[in-house]
Amino acid sequence: QSALTQPASVSESPGQSITISCTGTSSDVGAYNYVSWYQQHPGKAPKLMIYDVSNRPSGVSNRFSGSKSGNTASLTISGLQAEDEADYYCTSYTSSNTWVFGGGTKLTVL
């Protein structure tokens, strides 16, 4: 049950775009399209932003998008806004009937 690999931090200016990668294995990210992404502001509960690799729940801005290639999933945020500054976590269902999270990525909007 090794954690998925995410960059520890990313930063970009308002209005620009960023992409956060999430690398797993053929037993998790590569095996299923059950990759999801969560946004967490300090002191708050996580919020679902993307599910099934690329689907957005109702109410989530279309500036958020997801994709996957092989064992790596990605979250892209376009038109960065100050309110996007948060921690982002990917997660995947695994072939062992467990779930594994990435280590988290701190997004700083400069």
Q: What are the residues binding other proteins (CB under 8 A)? A: 1, 3, 32, 34, 36, 38, 40, 45-48, 51-52, 57, 89, 91, 93, 97-104
The closest alpha carbon to 89, from 54, 37, 11, 49, belongs to 37
Nearer to other proteins, 32 or 72 (CB): 32
Minimum gap (Å) between residue 72 Cβ and other proteins? 18
CB-nearer residue toward other proteins: 2 or 13? 2
Nearer to other proteins, 60 or 76 (CB): 60
Instruction: Decide whether 65 or 91 has the Cβ nearer to other proteins.
Output: 91
Least gap, CB of 89 to other proteins (angstroms):
5
To other proteins, the closest distance from the beta carbon of 49 in angstroms equals 11
Q: Shortest gap between Cβ of 51 and other proteins (angstroms)?
A: 5
Distances, alpha carbon 55 to alpha carbons 10, 12, 34, 62, 110, in Å? 23, 24, 10, 10, 28
